[in-house]
Structure 1
Amino acid sequence: MTARLIVAECFGVEKPTFQGEGASCGHPALFIRLSRCNLSCTKCDTKYTWDWSQFDPREESTKRTVAELVDWATSSPVELVVITGGEPLLQQEGGLVPLVRRLLAAGKRVEFETNGTLAPVADLVVDGVRFNVSPKIASFGMNEAKSIVPAALKALVASERAIFKFVASSVPDLDRIAGLADAHRLSPVWVMPEGTTAPAITETLRVLADPVAARGWHLTTRLHVLAFANTRGR
């Protein structure tokens, strides 16, 4: 059977772009955005991957073979491939493992952007793969009973290939992040300001910067929003 994945969009070849967040912020990157998610955060900026009350899945997603995706990625010399969503690990029992194997064999390195509710299968916990884990706290518009899954976080910590990136809207959010980091031994911690416009991101970044620094955490902006005004596909 031909391995296929449900894909929302691929970008970074025709119009070069960067990883906009976290430890690889500023690195040239290719993006494979998979469709579907197991959460429904009210502040999500990619609702076209899961919110079928607003979007038509027939228009917003296609099934693409692993071979098609590898051919697309290897048409570019860019090394970093970011597999994002939605929640990409929903498809790890399908075509995701062969996709990653072929990307690594082609000399690419892979970063997953995941919400931290699903443990990666062993075949994805390999050299050349990193996990940018973004657990969703209540201020992001999600019930933490669904978005904080201790067993999955434990597996991601144990992988020794994960960073933990939290979206924060205010200083009080940092106390909640600290509680989760302590309870689940999450490290390293990155904090990113919530916002979909440059003024909003800059304002929140300035509010968060000193208290994040005081905790010894990492701070990241949202480079793609600052550079491309949240244009889809950049």
Structure 2
Amino acid sequence: MTGDLTLSVAGVIGPVVHGQGSASGRRTSVIQLGGCNLACSWCDSAYTWDAARYDLRRELEMWTVSEIAQEALACRPSTVVISGGEPLMQQGTPAWPYLLAALSTHEIGLETNGTIAPSEQTLRGVSWITVSPKLAHSGDPARARINSDVLVLWGRLARRLDVDFSVVVQTAEDIATVSSLVRAHGLPRERVWVSPEGTRAATVLPTLQEISGPALEAGFNISPRLNALMP
């Protein structure tokens, strides 16, 4: 049975308040898939991929499509977000299209780091996509965190589909780097959101104040990371 096909999953969380971008504030269920092709130093979900710090045999389990969908929809979310890790690492599995179908009664969001091209099946199966290119402060080399051909593709897709770009920044100087990234890859500025790095209000709020002016001047949207500001 198709519902018995499996994916690597770290967990399903919900209901939670979606914290970033145009979906900010929505009642959300988050599916955290296992595995990632990057190794960001400040990653808040490193347990989905970092075998050096976590026992992935315990952190990750193979869930059936039916189990994932049942858990994700149990809290009656307005939106289901497929995240990770890097979820597109599993879009080639037999279970992937069946997961999208099982969730299709709800709005489906997808979060990706922008290094992997989406399949047509993925594009048809989700409601919106947030692409999050990583800057140098993530700790990954540019050749790993930026796939220029794929990022250009995402920029083109953003002109006809509901695709946004969310970039984590640490200082006002990072805004110039984001601008260069946007120009080099043809990303529509009106679809770009910048958000301060951090998981606590004490870190997020000062950075938010620092970056707001330069970000607005550059033509970007600003996301406050609601999940970090809430107790």
**Normalising to structure 1: TM-score of the pair?**
0.91
1:102-181 map, 5 Å: 102-104=102-104, 107-126=105-124, 128-159=126-157, 160-181=161-182
Of 207, 210, 221 in structure 2, the residue corresponding to residue 218 of structure 1 is 221
CA drift of 1:109 comes to 1.1
Work out the CA distance in 2 between the residues paired with 1:57 and 1:204: 33
Structure 2, unpaired ranges of 5+: none
Conserved in 1, the CA contact under 8 Å of 2:13 and 2:72?
no
Work out the CA distance in 2 between the residues paired with 1:161 and 1:118: 17
Change (3 A) 1:52 1:136: same
Seq. identity, %: 35
Match of 2:84 in 1: 85
Conserved in 2, the CA contact under 8 Å of 1:135 and 1:165?
yes
Number of residue equivalences: 223
Conserved in 1, the CA contact under 8 Å of 2:127 and 2:162?
yes
1:98 correspondence with 2:101 = no
Structure 1, unpaired ranges of 5+: 229-234
Match of 1:9 in 2: 11
The secondary structure found in structure 2 opposite 1:211 is helix
The secondary structure found in structure 1 opposite 2:194 is strand
Conserved in 2, the CA contact under 8 Å of 1:117 and 1:149?
yes
The secondary structure found in structure 1 opposite 2:82 is strand
1:36 correspondence with 2:39 = no
What is the CA RMSD across the aligned residues, in angstroms?
A: 1.4
Which amino acid in 2 is paired with 1:9? G
The secondary structure found in structure 2 opposite 1:93 is coil
Conserved in 1, the CA contact under 8 Å of 2:129 and 2:162?
yes
Conserved in 2, the CA contact under 8 Å of 1:140 and 1:167?
no
CA drift of 1:127 comes to 6.4
The secondary structure found in structure 2 opposite 1:214 is helix
CA drift of 1:135 comes to 0.4
**Normalising to structure 2: TM-score of the pair?**
0.92
Deviation per CA, 1:114-153: give whole Å up to 9, x if none.
1000011110112652111100010222211111101221
The more displaced of 20-29 and 67-76 is 67-76
Deviation per CA, 1:147-186: give whole Å up to 9, x if none.
1101221232233331111000011111111011011111
Match of 2:44 in 1: 45
